[in-house]
Amino acid sequence: IIGVDHGYSVMKTAHICFPSGIVRYEHEPIPIGSVEDEGKYYVCGTGRQPLLRTKTENEQYYLLTLAAIAQE
């Protein structure tokens, strides 16, 4: 079991903490710590997410959750 706190500014688990921003790239980026999903690449920890009514409105927090689980 891995607990993940989906904050608006920071994603947290028991052992890691990183900014909840995410940027999409069409080609594989150089920075380590990227997530690939359906041929798109995402770099986590860049900036922060805008305030949303619910965190399920788009795929951003899903991808951040994958990154948090992978790092944990």
User: Mind listing the pLDDT tens digit for each residue in 19-59?
Assistant: 888 888 888 777 666 788 888 888 887 766 777 777 777 78
Look up residue 43 and give its DSSP letter: E
pLDDT: which is higher, 16 or 51: 16
Beta-ladder partners of 36: 41
Alpha-carbon gap, residue 13 to 72, rounded angstroms: 7
Q: What is the pLDDT of residue 52?
A: 73
CA distance linking residue 35 with residue 33, whole number of Å: 7
Instruction: Return contacts of 22-27, CB within 8 angstroms, 24+ apart.
Output: 22/46, 22/49, 22/60, 22/63, 22/64, 22/67, 23/47
The per-residue pLDDT for 5 is 92
In this prediction the pTM is 0.75
